[in-house]
Structure 1
């Protein structure tokens, strides 16, 4: 099954560059203040005439996820009212493009305003997919704001208003270290360094700053999306495969929304989403076949018991039969009516439900 689900992918070998100076800079940058920044929140939704979800669901998915992530690391603390510090969360809905965007701004007294955004395309998605997409932009926007604040404000080696001065050797080493960390899947540490390189100013910093900004917009996202595709193909666990598909799909939909001005990136993201759709359908077919095999085994067992006793077995009896069979099936309920006895089960590996009916001297699979 793993071979069936892995989309074609080219793998490149890249050199690893280690720079001890930048590692020290990274470790100093991520030492968060002992006291969190206390902020109050303001939430706004601008939608035009397009509502992909009810307003309360959009807030629950995007805003609640973002606030949980912002406070998890101890960088921010939320209170009901603060005259000094504000945290604005704005959900923007773009109907023609079927795109959702979350913008988070943190306004701290005496500090610059830090802004992070995350966008995602929800075109062609159902309710659960859209809800998951809103959770995704809440998580990503919050992670970006945490890391930007940590990179540019929580830095004991320089003042909060200072920008990293251009120094080609040191800046190049810092950029290379960020790339190395990315390739080790240390996305938070990598993003912090990219934020610092992106903030560099002065003659000679333009190229590296532009490259770092593009990593924050695209490079980190597409690398993580490909990582999840590889994880999907190397797993035999249906639940893990489904999780990998969803995470990779959300990241590629994020790329579509955040790189709509690039034809090549749009085409690559659409091609990846096509591969993921094929993988998702293949997984559904495999899980469906697995569920039907389990249903057939349980049906034969109940049929044998019915032929021996002339009665539809009760829930306790069916549970005992299933235990004796050592099958990955759990019985959920038994409903008796004058016409039939209906058994509801769950196939444990896939989580898929199925039902059996005992009626007219026959045991039948319902779904």
Structure 2
């Protein structure tokens, strides 16, 4: 016999729903600034800047000061970032909140091998998660992110990997909601391989179906969640190239078959795509003739933070403020965007230029 034991009060549900709606308000998306220390090292090496805590702080200060709240609804922080301060001595979470942007935090502890599979993985970090979420809520966070990774090959993803990662995501989401954090559910299917568009669509549907079955089993309140999936694209080694319109149609079709309408928004990861590719594909999704009951937006990291190498002698990040243009009224995207001139050793264009072209209206 099925018995219902309410896990969230009406007040808790309203708070979670309101936070999710703020993040995916029309024309807005998420800036994924949750790079680990190791990832930041790779970023800074490209511009010959030493990976020190001060340089990381300076880079983040530059990035956050340039963010326009008209096109960014939420920013995902790394643990270190949450406790760093701006040049004015203000904690970064407060800097972001003063702009009316929601603060989020990465809470997973990375991946680990899944025994008995062909190199597949699960994600660690459930131990102590409730206590960490409670502390992050006190420290100013209102949403969280947890990434699971699956791959496509002749034998992958296996049923075990799909079920394990779906269950981990559901457990994480339930714990987050109990502590007042909106969970971003991220089952990423890696684009490595030579599989075509139809193969990716099929796997995406299987993974998302299992994920939402697990979320239901764990009594997760869907109106207080967001989904961060991969776009349905062919593998990087696939000899056939697909248009943004084909990618958009395949992605929206997969979502319509698996994601409940109760989910307020879907914020796509860029998956290693260039800012141009990621923007064109997202725009194509929002232009499809298919009905879309959720807002379709972005949760980009690299696609919003290009770091071209500066000419001449490298120097540490210098603070130069960039004024980002306000987003236009929703319309078909015009590509390419206006070229910008180099103005800083670290950031050479407004980091949110793709979002100024974004149409997020539902059909």
Shorter-chain TM-score category?
under 0.3
**TM-score (normalizing by structure 2):** 0.22
Specify which structure has the higher proportion of helix.
1
Q: Which has the larger radius of gyration?
A: 1
- Choose between structure 1 and 2 for higher RCO, CA contacts under 8 A separated by at least 6 residues: 2
